[in-house]
Amino acid sequence: MNDGNKFLIKTYNMPVPEGTQVEGRTIHHHPERMYAYTSHLGKGIAPIVQNFTFDQLVPSLSELKSSTTVEK
């Protein structure tokens, strides 16, 4: 549903079991998934979101840069 309301979503790294490796490198957090939290969903609810889907909703750094930047 798109009613025009906006709300804040915070994401948190999803830990993986100690010693997990990807392509020979030890990782500490899941590379493609994270927990999300928003008070909009209610206390204690933290769905798992995936970068493949969630990244489409979040503007990139280049999109956040001002188009009126003046170089010195």
Residue range of the domain that includes 51? 10-64
User: Structural domain tally of the chain?
Assistant: 1
The number of CA neighbours under 13 Å toward the Cβ of 66 is 4
Is 69 a member of any domain? no
Is 14 a member of any domain? yes
Is 2 a member of any domain? no
Side chain identity, residue 70: V
pTM recorded for the entire structure: 0.60
- Provide the 3-class DSSP secondary structure of residue 62: helix
Q: Read off the pLDDT of residues 31-61 as tens digits, 9 standing for 90 and up.
A: 899 988 887 887 888 888 887 877 777 777 7
Is 16 a member of any domain? yes
